[in-house]
Amino acid sequence: MMTRTAAVLTGGSRGDDPPASRAVFGTVGYADGSTNSPNNSKVTPTALLSTGTAAPADANEIVAYEEAPLSETSGGSAIGVGSAGPAGRSSTVQYGRGLSKSKERTVAATRMELRGLGYVGNDASGGVQLQEREGNTEAYAPIVENPFKLAAQDPLSTFSIDVDTASYANVRRFLNSGQLPPPDAVRVEELLNYFRFEYPKADGERPFSVSARVASCPWAPRHQLVQVGLRGQDIDLEKRTPSNLVFLIDVSGSMNSPDKLPLLVSSMKLLVEQLDGRDRLAMVVYAGASGVVLPSTTCDYKTVIVNALESLQAGGSTNGAAGIELAYQIAQQNFTQEGQNRVVLCTDGDFNVGVTDDGSLTRLIEAKRQSGVFLSVLGFGTGNTKDAKMELLADKGNGNYAYIDTLNEARKVLVHEMGGTLFTIAKDVKLQLEFNPAEVQAYRLIGYENRMLAHQDFNDDKKDAGEIGAGHNVTALYEIVPVGVPFQASGVDPLKYQAPATTSTAARSGELLNLKLRYKAPNGDTSKLIETPVRATNASWQEAPPDFKFASAVAGFGLVLRKSANIGSFTLNDAFQLATQGVGEDVGGYRKEFVELVRKAAALQAATDGKPRVR
């Protein structure tokens, strides 16, 4: 049977408009000569696109292709699925944002995600994630908010820690430029982990402390919030172990703007100033190909290193995979058993030649991490930032991900928090909380949606998880519905055969939950277990210490920006008031900066939907 390919074009309106309002500027046809369309490889089965236009019944494939230059249309966008063909003739698209003439890059997506963006097709494969139009091609992974779970049915919550902070700096960049961030750019856990809290110091036996605090929930006063905190041991930088670093720097054409390569060079100079004769540094660049700008050099020769940085120029396409291979090779050649071995990837994440799909890049990074070389990812720039790709690489590379929007942020990440950024003190850190159904009716984890683990993964030492660096804070918040508080799980009828809450001795202990944590030494293969119970309390958030109020404000702020269904009537004004009460001792001024960001967000939201501004 001959394969026939249907091609559907839509456009002429904003990608987030209702499907019915989107104009069709293209045609429905076949790629076998029936219409003037390119020859494309199979992408999905027959489906309906968001215009409601049906593909021909005998079509086996669907692609979206460009028949006229998109610049001649007004905000045109192709919605649904697509595949790239010959340059200038067909293009990939991403979730209702427009066509691009770049090379083929397709990534699997779910049907639910596509439908959430207006896709009304019925193909079982869910289609593909496709590329945005040039001009603004920022890409964020969809986030489906963690739901409430009934403690009697599912008492365990298991997840990997996350020390990334990129989302906070990126949200700040949006707000400072006069825009509300896209909801999927807001990862609540990264907003929380941007800030330090006064958690107990770690004792001498463990690399970090574990603690929890409970009080009422500001946006649902009959609920409770549990603030779980980890605090990594600080290190004396004068007595630290040596570092073997490789800067892997993107010098492709996409980096040719003031907030990219020039800011990158200035940022790296700050880090170089913190290094000394104990350390070695190499520099690899990549564009269409990769090359060594600086062989591994002792950091006594700072002038040589700075000169190499200042010689960098942007231009060409982006073969990130080739650079990754070379950077890890150099790191392994100069491997130190006594210290830190790390590749520092500096990029906007826009890999467009060589290995470009997330699956292949993930497998590449996972293979390289077995060498004992860790990965830090520093994101730069606006317009085509591939946030999802950079987060994924850091996650799979036993590393961390920060976004550098200003030189002040570079100073925070690379100078003030250098220990956390470069010096791993524990890896594969996992948390598992068991909720007591005698005290807890329902619970939900706020954030960490892309860090959830299967419950059996907690005891599986082969399962990768997050790393924590020296001095790092990790914060997780759980919203809890106590027993006796009216609550109905969304979309779930009362259960007929469900047993009542257990009355075992443990259940009647007054414990709210049991917190377990596993971690490995940076060069270890066997995990260690920490376990601690958390008792129930009736404390109100008004009486809670500033740290609890501030963490609640940050989470509430993120949930409002994400348009969460679980935030109730809580507003940015409430977040502003709560954050103001929680500023406390503000080393570095980061909390006061946050208060001002909330004010800006409220003003932007008021301009958008008419809600009152923060006063």
Q: What is the pLDDT of residue 354?
A: 52
Instruction: Assess whether pLDDT exceeds 70 at residue 277.
Output: yes
61 pLDDT band, cuts 50/70/90, is: very low
Q: Any idea which residue has 């690489």 for tokens?
A: 393
40 closest CA partner among 93, 110, 109: 93
Residue 219 makes CB contacts below 8 A (sequence gap 6+) with: 556, 559, 567, 568, 569, 570, 574
**DSSP-assigned beta bridge partners for residue 424:** 469
**DSSP-assigned beta bridge partners for residue 63:** 7
Sequence letter at residue 205: E
Instruction: Assess whether pLDDT exceeds 80 at residue 313.
Output: yes
Alpha-carbon separation of residue 221 from 146, 450, 476, 481, 485 (angstroms): 20, 28, 19, 10, 11
Q: What is the pLDDT of residue 492?
A: 66
- Record the tokens describing residue 437, joined without a space: 């159904």
Domains in the chain and their CATH numbers?
1-137 (no CATH), 149-235+426-487+501-542 (2.60.40.1230), 237-419 (3.40.50.410)
Q: How far apart are alpha carbons 162 and 165 in whole angstroms?
A: 9
63 pLDDT band, cuts 50/70/90, is: very low
- Record the tokens describing residue 555, joined without a space: 């989470």
**Considering the chain, what percentage of its residues have pLDDT values greater than 90?**
58
Q: What is the pLDDT of residue 301?
A: 96
345 closest CA partner among 273, 400, 419: 400
C-alpha 184: how far from chain center = 9
Q: What is the pLDDT of residue 289?
A: 66
Q: How far apart are alpha carbons 434 and 185 in whole angstroms?
A: 30
Mean pLDDT calculated for residue range 437-456:
97
3-state SS string for 453-474:
CCHHHHHCCCCCCEEEECCCEE
User: Roughly how many angstroms between the first and final C-alpha of the chain, as a whole number?
Assistant: 68
Q: What is the pLDDT of residue 502?
A: 54
Q: Strand ranges (DSSP E) for 84-172?
A: 107-108, 128-129, 149-150, 156-160
Per the CB < 8 A criterion, the answer to whether 477 and 447 are in contact is: yes
Mean pLDDT calculated for residue range 125-137:
41
How many helices and strands in the chain, by DSSP H and E? Answer: 13, 21
176 pLDDT band, cuts 50/70/90, is: very high
100 closest CA partner among 352, 320, 292: 352
What rounded mean pLDDT belongs to the chain? 78
Q: How far apart are alpha carbons 135 and 512 in whole angstroms?
A: 51
Half-sphere exposure for 204 (CA within 13 Å, toward CB): 0
364 pLDDT band, cuts 50/70/90, is: confident
Cβ-based neighbour number of residue 575 at 10 Å: 30
Model pLDDT for residues 541-576, shown as the tens digit of each residue: 999 999 999 999 999 999 999 999 999 999 999 999
Strands 374-380 and 280-286 turn out to be unpaired
Model pLDDT for residues 145-161, shown as the tens digit of each residue: 999 999 999 999 999 99
Per the CB < 8 A criterion, the answer to whether 547 and 197 are in contact is: yes
Instruction: Assess whether pLDDT exceeds 80 at residue 78.
Output: no
Greatest mean pLDDT range, 6-20, 82-96, 475-489: 475-489
- Record the tokens describing residue 548, joined without a space: 């609890």
Q: What is the pLDDT of residue 356?
A: 53
Q: What is the pLDDT of residue 264?
A: 96
613 pLDDT band, cuts 50/70/90, is: low
Instruction: Assess whether pLDDT exceeds 60 at residue 285.
Output: yes
Helix ranges, 402-456 (H)? 407-411, 418-422
Alpha-carbon separation of residue 195 from 10, 380, 415 (angstroms): 44, 20, 16
Mean pLDDT calculated for residue range 494-501:
63
Q: Which residue has the higher pLDDT, 274 or 39?
A: 274
Across 57-71, 353-367, 398-412, 460-474, least confident range: 57-71
Q: What angle do CA 504, 509, 515 make, to 5 degrees?
A: 100
Across 107-121, 174-188, 189-203, 564-578, least confident range: 107-121
Q: Which residue has the higher pLDDT, 56 or 462?
A: 462
Instruction: Assess whether pLDDT exceeds 60 at residue 358.
Output: yes
Per the CB < 8 A criterion, the answer to whether 231 and 208 are in contact is: yes
Q: Which residue has the higher pLDDT, 294 or 122?
A: 294
Q: Which residue has the higher pLDDT, 141 or 528?
A: 528
Strand order in the sheet with 5-7: 29-30, 5-7, 61-63
What phi, psi does 116 have (nearest 5°)?
Answer: -65, -20
33 pLDDT band, cuts 50/70/90, is: very low
